[in-house]
Amino acid sequence: MNAIILSAAFGVMMMLCSFLLKNKGSLRHIASIALLILLVANIADTYGHTMFLINTHGMLLFNRFGMLFNSIAIGSTFVYVLLTGKEIEKTGTYVAEYFVLIFFVLCGVTLLSSYNNLLTLFLGIEIMSIPLYILTGSDKRNMKSNEAALKYFLMGAFSTGLMLMGIALTYGGTGTFNMEAVRTFPNIYKGLASFLEILGLLFLLVSMAFKVSAAPFHFWTPDVYDGAPSVFTSFMATIVKAAGFIAFIKLCAVRMNETSGVVNWQMIYAILIVATLLVGNITAVFQQSVKRMLAYSSIAQAGFMLFSLISLNDLAYEGILLYAAAYSLATIGIFAILVKMKDISLEGYNGLAKTQPALAATNMVFLLSLSGIPLTAGFFAKYYMLAAVLKTGTYTWLVIVGVLFAAVSVYYYFRVIQAMYFKEGNPQTEVITPSFKYGVIALAALIILLGIFPNLILNWLYF
């Protein structure tokens, strides 16, 4: 509860700062301090120190899983603001508003990690999405940014519509919005799954697939991620996407799972996974712009996160959290370096190892983590995803398809490494301050640490 209320409150606070504070440079410092407080408050909440005791009538359910995800999301946002805060300021004139919107997104994220009712799911998705539409269009003079914002808004509105219809239909089929109630009280069709419920769940599945950009509902992703200012793409592709997965996995674990006697949901997920891995990986291979490559790679990574829907066992829950952390941290790092580059095409990275050895080395660690090489956090993220499916004993073929696509992903991630290390060039970067350098080095060290001891994160689930 702490995180939901405080993030909304900090959003309002930042709004007040926008006209009370003359010095815009101090805004990001205020934002990072607020994020730190938010993180501490959330960890306190995990151990039972709740500041706000509100009876939500079962609309929200707080558990370790959701709390840990909150910590990961807030922590990643903290790292994100520390590394790219300066670039956020440079995006436009309404600096404070950007931070406001980020806090509101976090409010939606924390709601999604604890929803226990289809209405709160809807609320969370909307609170999370609407600020993002604005952030996407924040570069007002740029036509691409405007186009992306409009596209994102239209597609988002469409998927929201589907979600509402889905919620209405399942309500018609079960007579409740509640997540848990269906299990305990047989629905009006006396425990049988009705046609309405199944149809509603299908609608919900499609709308969630939209949000996490699973193929074939991914078409908005490359354009939006490419058009939005790079700093905000970083935020959208990591924390927001991971939150979508947390909501998705919960929906599947409860609602879809109950009707698994009627519909073979796992087969539907398997088709989604193969399509997503195929589209994301194969298209990423052909990209010349690193930013657009990362957009497709985020689709490909989503394919891996979808593995958790098939297994839905303890390893899957641990795995999705680890994946969220590993993927978010690595992608934030890559984008932090990307926004410092003058030329974000693949050629723009040529020879970076010579001019900026620290940036090249850390970027390499981030890319190795995304491709899932051992000793990086990304390896254990993939490991858990594969292990969770293998533990179920079925869908072994899917795991093999998955690792083959993981090998494809090496191709495009390593092209960046090749450009940085083995090609000659004179890449232009913005001024790199020593504090930024130490920031990315610390982030890379964290990723390697998690790659050796993934329990550093997972122990929070149990202790």
Partner 1 sequence: MIALLLILIPLFSGLITFFIKGEKDAKSWSLFASVLTLAVVFAGVFNLFDTAQSSYDAAWLSALGARFSIGLDGMGKMLCLLNAIAFPIVFGAVYNNDYKKPASFYGLMLLMQTGLMGVFLSTDCLLFYFFWELALIPAYFLCSTWGGEKRIQVTFKFFIYTFVGSLLMLVGILYVYFKTPDHSFALQSFYNAKLSTGEENFAFWLFFLAFAIKMPIFPLHTWQPDTYEQSPTAVTMILSGVMVKMGLFAAIRWLVPVFPHAALYYSHFIIILSVTGMLYASLIAIRQDDIKRMIAYSSIAHIGLMCAAIFSSEETGMQGVMIQMFNHGINVIGLWIVAEAIETQLGTRKFSELGGLARKAPALAILLVVMALANIALPLTNAFVGEFLMFNGLFRYNVWIAAIAGISIILAAVYTLNMIQKIFYGNTSIATENAKDIGMGTKIMLIVLVVIVVVLGVYPQPMMQLTNDTVQSVLIKFHL
Give the whole-angstrom CA distance, residue 366 versus residue 343.
Answer: 19
463 binds partner 1 (CB under 8 A): no
Q: Which residues pair with 60 in a beta bridge?
A: 115
CA distances from 422 to 285, 337, 460 (A): 19, 19, 41
161 binds partner 1 (CB under 8 A): no
Length of the chain as a residue count: 463
441 binds partner 1 (CB under 8 A): no
387 binds partner 1 (CB under 8 A): yes
* Stretch 209-248: interaction string toward partner 1, x if CB under 8 A: ----------------------------------------
Q: How far is the CB of 300 from partner 1 (least distance, A)?
A: 15
Residue type, 276: T
Choosing from 158, 171, 219, 383, the residue that interacts with partner 1 (CB under 8 A) is 383
User: How many residues make contact with partner 1 (CB under 8 A)?
Assistant: 28
Give the whole-angstrom CA distance, residue 372 versus residue 370.
Answer: 5
**Helical axes 220-227 vs 290-305, angle rounded to 10°:** 130
386 binds partner 1 (CB under 8 A): yes
271 binds partner 1 (CB under 8 A): no
Q: What DSSP state is assigned to residue 461?
A: G
Choosing from 200, 244, 319, 454, the residue that interacts with partner 1 (CB under 8 A) is 454
Phi, psi dihedral angles at 4 (to 5 degrees): -60, -50
Q: Which residues pair with 458 in a beta bridge?
A: none
* Stretch 352-381: interaction string toward partner 1, x if CB under 8 A: ----------------x----xxx------
Q: How far is the CB of 143 from partner 1 (least distance, A)?
A: 37
Choosing from 33, 51, 403, 445, the residue that interacts with partner 1 (CB under 8 A) is 403
Choosing from 29, 404, 428, 430, the residue that interacts with partner 1 (CB under 8 A) is 404
- Nearer Cβ to partner 1 (150/373): 373
Q: How far is the CB of 419 from partner 1 (least distance, A)?
A: 10
Choosing from 421, 427, 446, 457, the residue that interacts with partner 1 (CB under 8 A) is 421
Q: How far is the CB of 114 from partner 1 (least distance, A)?
A: 25
Which residues 6+ apart lie within 8 Å of 141 measured at CB? Answer: none
Give the whole-angstrom CA distance, residue 136 versus residue 442.
Answer: 29
Helices (H) and strands (E) in the chain, counts: 22, 0
> Structure tokens of 151?
């596209």
Which residues 6+ apart lie within 8 Å of 408 measured at CB? Answer: 281, 282, 285
Interacting residues toward partner 1 by CB under 8 A: 368, 373-375, 383, 386-387, 390-391, 393, 396, 399-400, 403-404, 406-407, 410-411, 414, 418, 421-423, 453-455, 458
